[in-house]
A and B are shown apart, each in its own frame.
Chain A
Amino acid sequence: MLNRFMQMRLRDLIILAIILFALPLFLNNPFHYDLATQMAIIAATVVGLNLLVGFAGQISLGHAGFFGLGAYFTGIMTSSYGWSSVPALVVGAIAVGIIAWIVGRPILRLKGHYLSMATLAVGFIIAIILNNERALTGGPDGMPVPAFTVFGWELSPFGSYNLLGMELNGSEAWYLFAALVLLVAVWLAQNLIDSPIGRALRSVHGSEVAARVVGVDTARYKSLVFVVSAIYASAMGSLYAHFQGFITPAVAGFDFSILFITMVVLGGMGSTMGVILGAVVLKLLPQVLADFQELETVMFGAILMLTMIFMPKGLLPTIQMAVGKRMKKKAGGQA
């Protein structure tokens, strides 16, 4: 017997895989592929952030800080110390996880606006450090990052590859890689949600006092999910750094943090597929509205507000509900 969650999970993963691997049919130049790759990496980041915000009901307005730490750890270790990409990503993610745990223990005692302010401050502090530690990070000018390497094999946007007889250029190869990463990120997140740990996390959101009287150590679980979401951000930051080939402290900045949280809220808090849609929409928007670039932050603010007022459940859950209602109506009409 498959329970409700398992059915949904399989369905979602299959739909996502089909979309990701059918997408190249509609991408016809390297610029499109680059945009899609960025989307996939950012989407995987917000899938992790959604565990914290959507499922456990906590907020982080400084998540780009962890994303930036991952990016810079990878940048510094691979360029200055000659590390290979995978160890840099893994060690960076573990280090960021430890930092998140140390920072999270005290600040996750806070609730609501106070937690928002504290996480905001964490993001700012990280961005300031990256800006000021010129010797390590190159300061505001940023730093170059070498191509992604695994076992001496290099994945560069400018390379050319042969996959099972298919000729791929670097952009296409990166896209396929990022798509696979996104699928794995979603699979892991779904496994976490539909488990005893996931129920404990969701109960922190649903009713913290109920969680505690059945024995959930809520403080521990809040820290845990904060760490997991920070690790997601750090790992994706590492990939982002490799893909872009050049990073500046902006990757850890306030604008990025707000972008992440807007993606979660717009797409649908607590809906893994929803936040991916949120990431896609908000990455596409600046392309469509390129003429109004200086109004970007204003637009994100407006989107955040309008979503919270008119679609508090977010884009995808609202669409799913509307479609569900219509289908019910139709079925009722036929009967």
Chain B
Amino acid sequence: MSALIEVKGLDKAFGGVHAVEGVSFSVEAGQVYSVIGPNGAGKTTLFNLISGIYTPTKGEISLKGESTARLEPNQLAERGMCRTFQQMQICMNMSAIENVMLGRHLKLRSNLFTTLFRLPSLLRDEKSCRERAAELMEFVGCGDYLDTEASAMSYGALKRLEIARALAAEPKVILLDEPAAGLNAVETAALEKLIRKIADQGTTVMLVEHDMKLVMGISDRLLVLNYGRVLAEGTPEEIRNNPDVIAAYLGG
């Protein structure tokens, strides 16, 4: 079976600066695949390329064998990719559960007519959508916040809410950009459990994260970036013992 995500010779230049340069790797279905590297190594740029927010300068990205480098984020969502952001993107003008229900956008079949006249088919859809969203909020551990305004929630709860929204789309692959940033030790432990649960359900997880304990504990494979280039790729054990990685991280 071919890889779920295949990246070949990926390049992204902003003016003269190559944020990502000649990056190739592949992610098998069902893996937890992490991208690590020092600040400014190009991790978030890589995620933005894979999720369609940026268009690559050069190179190829494919999802399940289909080339996706030129697709818009919403087209990628239709193909089973969803993500969270390092700078959280929550709709503060909605309640918590509405944010998660938004995640089910592609699962809902409504048109302007059924909407304007609130026909029974729409009400049925909305009811099941709300139930599913409530389950997901329970799953990520913010079940107490259903009808709370997003703007009134704590940072940690919003981080989990963003994951619930991404899961609501029932993605095949979910990209988590620094989900542990700003969380305390207890919250990070809970997050680790959550990521494991997501992976156990068969969803492929791609992770950008600085918390080494978290990354080494849950990843199947890791990609190490430095100055936009691949420094190393392999299992956590291989990465831990790689002299280049040690040099980059400890300054050699």
B39 sits at the interface (CB 8 A): no
Docked pose: A198 CA to B118 CA in angstroms? 12
Q: Are B115 and A196 in contact (CB under 8 A)?
A: yes
A-B contact pairs, 12 of them (CB 8 A): A191-B117, A196-B115, A197-B112, A199-B98, A200-B102, A210-B165, A213-B73, A214-B168, A215-B74, A215-B106, A216-B74, A217-B74
Of the four ranges (under 10, 10 to 19, 20 to 34, 35 or more), the interface on chain A belongs to: 20 to 34
Given A4-B95, A199-B101, A206-B91, A214 and B115 contact (CB-CB distance below 8 Å): no
Contact bitstring B106-125, A, C-beta under 8 A = 1, else 0: 10101010011110001001
Interface SS of chain A: helix
Complex partner residue of A200 from B53, B105, B165, CB under 8 angstroms:
B105
Given A196-B110, A196-B125, A214 and B116 contact (CB-CB distance below 8 Å): no
Complex partner residue of A216 from B51, B105, B130, CB under 8 angstroms:
B105
A205 sits at the interface (CB 8 A): yes
Complex partner residue of A195 from B51, B76, B126, CB under 8 angstroms:
B126
Docked pose: A232 CA to B197 CA in angstroms? 48
Given A195-B126, A209-B53, A209-B85, A215 and B105 contact (CB-CB distance below 8 Å): yes
Complex partner residue of A270 from B73, B93, B116, CB under 8 angstroms:
B93
Q: Are A191 and B118 in contact (CB under 8 A)?
A: yes
A29 sits at the interface (CB 8 A): no
Find chain A residues with CB under 8 A from B74 CB.
212-213, 215-218
B92 sits at the interface (CB 8 A): yes
Find chain A residues with CB under 8 A from B90 CB.
206-207, 210
Docked pose: A7 CA to B248 CA in angstroms? 57
Complex partner residue of A203 from B73, B91, B112, CB under 8 angstroms:
B91
Find chain A residues with CB under 8 A from B147 CB.
3-4
Interface residues of B in 59-82 (CB under 8 A from A): 72-74, 76-78, 82
Interface residues of A in 165-199 (CB under 8 A from B): 188, 191-192, 195-199
| Interchain pairs with CB closer than 8 A, number | 105
Q: Are B77 and A214 in contact (CB under 8 A)?
A: yes
Q: Are B82 and A191 in contact (CB under 8 A)?
A: no
Q: Are A197 and B72 in contact (CB under 8 A)?
A: no
Closest residue to A211 on the B side, CB-wise?
A: B102
Contact bitstring A212-231, B, C-beta under 8 A = 1, else 0: 11111110000010001000
Q: Are A196 and B73 in contact (CB under 8 A)?
A: no
Find chain A residues with CB under 8 A from B112 CB.
197, 224, 228
Nearest Cβ on chain B to A190's Cβ, whole angstroms: 9
B37 sits at the interface (CB 8 A): no
Find chain B residues with CB under 8 A from A197 CB.
110, 112, 115
Find chain A residues with CB under 8 A from B105 CB.
196, 199-200, 214-216
Q: Could you list 4 further interchain pairs (A-B, Cβ under 8 angstroms) beyond the known A202-B94, A216-B74?
A: A195-B115, A196-B104, A199-B105, A215-B106
B229 sits at the interface (CB 8 A): no
Find chain A residues with CB under 8 A from B126 CB.
195-196
Q: Are A202 and B93 in contact (CB under 8 A)?
A: yes
Nearest Cβ on chain B to A192's Cβ, whole angstroms: 6
Find chain B residues with CB under 8 A from A211 CB.
91, 102
Docked pose: A188 CA to B147 CA in angstroms? 23
Docked pose: A203 CA to B95 CA in angstroms? 11
Contact bitstring B41-65, A, C-beta under 8 A = 1, else 0: 0000000000101000000000000
Q: Are A3 and B130 in contact (CB under 8 A)?
A: yes
Docked pose: A191 CA to B51 CA in angstroms? 33
Docked pose: A106 CA to B202 CA in angstroms? 41
Docked pose: A299 CA to B11 CA in angstroms? 55
Nearest Cβ on chain B to A268's Cβ, whole angstroms: 13
Given A192-B115, A196-B110, A209-B89, A214 and B129 contact (CB-CB distance below 8 Å): no
B83 sits at the interface (CB 8 A): yes
Find chain B residues with CB under 8 A from A200 CB.
102, 105
Docked pose: A3 CA to B118 CA in angstroms? 15
Given A210-B89, A210-B91, A215 and B116 contact (CB-CB distance below 8 Å): no
Find chain A residues with CB under 8 A from B94 CB.
199, 202-203, 206
Find chain B residues with CB under 8 A from A207 CB.
89-91
Find chain A residues with CB under 8 A from B168 CB.
214
Given A197-B110, A213-B51, A213-B77, A202 and B116 contact (CB-CB distance below 8 Å): no
